[in-house]
Structure 1
Amino acid sequence: MDARCFYQEVLVPVSREWAFKALVLDMHNLLPKLVPHFVKSMEFIRGDWGQPGSIRQTIFTEGGLLSEKMHSVVCEIKYEANSPDRCILKMATDYHLKEGVVFKEEDINTGRKITKEFFEAVLEYLISNPEVYTNG
């Protein structure tokens, strides 16, 4: 099985703590709700809610880049405070390809577009609902 790794940084207009709560602790609830055309469900396979070593399985909707070409995707995200109300997400994403699949430039661009849509949907939700994830 072949693997490709890509790095990207995203400036997020919410605090590191707020982003972490939404994008790690509650992502399993948010993504199926906010981007149901990409994510069918998410469940914990090992560990839970942001503990080191936790594994969360994402079931994507049928078709598309992820289900056709990839065996699995591993994403590591580092949350760095940029200011009290902004942070930078530094992401390393490993795409593990199915046997015989060749990853083209257009596939890379599609993957980045999907990742951007995930983050934009969550950030729009957070900005539109400032009361969520503000306590404990």
Structure 2
Amino acid sequence: MGVFTYEFETTTIIPPARLFKAFALDGDNLIPNVAPLAIESSEIIEGNGGPGTIKMINLGQRSQYNYAKLRIDEMDNANFTYGYSLIEGDALTRRPEKISYKFKLGAYPEGGSILKSICKYHTKGDLEIKEEEIKASKENIARLFKAVEAYLLVNPEAITK
């Protein structure tokens, strides 16, 4: 087994606390509404929403996959850090054993936030992760991020601190 890692970074004018709440705390309700082609629904099937919680994600028409089960690995509200692992789903069929994501939001010097994302593919055997898979994953993260950002910009009363 090997681990393949890539990073992704982007910025927004949305403050870190609001963006963290939108993604990590209210994401199960918000994301299916702002990006239904990516995620149709999300529900907690075990746990209380904190670390150890298992979620069932039904993926949308834009995805080549149908579902994913995620486990929340870490959630730090004070430091705006959220980590989870894809532990089951058709995306893992003959693919990595698991895929782990960690997001960290920080204050951007000109205002707003900087999002840093680290993705780790825990592979089985000699499986190699292809560059087009990495590119597609980065594009999906960026698209989802921009959808949430656009929603928050046009709905200033939604997801407040």
TM-score by length of 2: 0.67
Q: Which has the higher contact order (CA 8 A, sep 6+)?
A: 1
Counterpart of 2:156 in structure 1 is 130
8 Å CA contact retained: 1:15, 1:84: no
Rounded to whole Å, the distance in 1 between the matches of 2:31 and 2:96 is 19
Q: Distance between the aligned counterparts of 2:100 and 2:17, measured in 1?
A: 22
Q: Which residues of structure 2 form unaligned runs of 5+?
A: 66-89
Counterpart of 1:40 in structure 2 is: 40
Q: Distance in 2 between matches of 1:80 and 1:98?
A: 33
**Percent identity between the two aligned chains:** 28
For residues 61 and 2 of structure 1, the distance between their equivalents in structure 2, rounded to whole angstroms, comes to 30
Aligned counterparts of 1:60 and 1:98: Cα–Cα separation in 2: 24
> 1:97 offset after TM fit, Å?
5.3
- Quick one: distance in 1 between partners of 2:97 and 2:58? 12
Q: What amino acid is aligned across from residue 47 of structure 1 in structure 2?
A: N
More helix by share: 1
Equivalent pairs counted in the alignment come to: 133
Q: Structure 1: which 5+ runs fail to align?
A: none
CA RMSD of aligned residues (A): 2.8
Q: Give the AA of the match of 1:132.
A: A
In 2, Cα distance between equivalents of 1:57 and 1:21: 19
Aligned AA for 1:58? I
Alignment of 1:1-136 (within 5 A): 3-44=3-44, 45-48=46-49, 51-61=50-60, 64=64, 67=91, 69=95, 72-83=98-109, 85-96=111-122, 102-134=128-160, 136=161
Q: Distance in 1 between matches of 2:147 and 2:37?
A: 12
SS of the residue corresponding to residue 64 of structure 1 reads coil
CA-CA distance at 1:125 after TM superposition: 0.2
Q: Which moved more, 1:114-123 or 1:53-62?
A: 53-62
* Cα distance change, pair 83–11 in 1 and its aligned pair in 2 (3 A): same
SS class of match (2:108): strand
Query: Is the alpha carbon distance of 1:132 and 1:78 closer, same or farther for their aligned partners in structure 2, counting shifts above 3 Å?
Result: same
